[in-house]
């Protein structure tokens, strides 16, 4: 007997490769989107800091804009620097 597979339609869910479930700022799941967005994924990406914490991009930008003096990671209070080459 020989089985010839012509087409395999699979189902998969995508997820961010992050070290946490939820965004530390908006508390919404990473796999969802930030409160200002409607659509997850490409439209509401994650960014990583050099401290290895990650957030919804929109959330951390909002946070950084509100910080007048020093730009710190809201989780660990280190100076916030985007991790190179990770944001697409």
Partner 1 sequence: MNEVQTMPQGLSAAWDTVTSALVSPLPTNALPDEVLCDALALLGGHGLGQYVEGWLLETLQVRLTTSVAPEFWTGLKQPEGESQERDRANALLKAFRNLLQQLEPFLGGLERLGSWQDESRGGLCGPGARGLTERAFSVVRAILLFSPPPVLQERVLEFYSRTFSVHMSQAGEAVEAEEGSAEHDVGSLCPGCAALVHLCWCQEALEQLQELSHILSRLQLLERVSSEAVTSILHQLIEQRMEQRCRGEYESSFLTDFNDWLGQVLGWLSRVFASKVEEVGNDATTTDVKTGQPTNALLQRWHCHMHQFFCRIYVNMRIEELFSIIRDFPESIPAIEDLKFCLERTNQRQQLLASLKSAFETRLLHPGVHTSDIITVYISAIKALRELDPSMVILQVACQPIRKYLRTREDTVRQIVGSLTGDAEGCSDLANELSRADPVTLETQDSEDEGSDPEDWTPDPTDALTDKTGSKRRSSDIISLLVSIYGSKEIFINEYKTVLADRLLHQLNYNTVREIRNVELLKLRFGESHMHYCEVMLKDVADSRRINTNIRDEESRLPVEEQSTLLLSAMIISSEFWPQLKEEKLELPAVASKAMEDYTHRFEKLKAMRTLRWKPHLGSVTLDVELEDRTIANLTVSPIHAAIILHFQDKGTWTLEELSGVLGVPQEMVRRKLALWQQQGVLREEAGGRYTVQETSSCRERADRSVMLIDSDEEGDSNTATQSEQREEKLQLFWAYIQAMLTNLESMTLERIHSMLRMFVAAGPGVTEMDVNELQAFLQKKVRAHQLIVSTGVYRLPKTTQ
Applying CB under 8 A, the residues found at the interface with partner 1 are 1-18, 29, 31-32, 38-42, 46, 48, 86-88
Which residue, 13 or 70, has its beta carbon nearer to partner 1?
13
Measured distance CA(33)–CA(40) in Å, rounded: 5
Which residue, 9 or 70, has its beta carbon nearer to partner 1?
9
Which residue, 17 or 69, has its beta carbon nearer to partner 1?
17
Q: Dihedral, CA atoms, 87, 40, 37, 28, nearest 10 degrees?
A: -90
Minimum Å gap between C-beta 21 and partner 1 is 11
Token pair, residue 3, equals 């089985």
């Amino acid at each position: 007997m020989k089985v010839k597979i012509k087409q395999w339609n699979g189902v998969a869910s995508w997820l961010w490769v992050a070290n946490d479930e939820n965004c530390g700022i908006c508390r919404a799941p990473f796999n969802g989107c930030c409160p200002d967005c409607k659509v997850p994924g490409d439209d509401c990406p994650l960014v990583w800091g050099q401290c290895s914490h990650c957030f919804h991009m929109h959330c951390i930008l909002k946070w950084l804009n509100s910080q007048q003096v020093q730009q710190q990671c809201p989780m660990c209070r280190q100076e916030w620097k985007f991790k190179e080459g990770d944001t697409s």
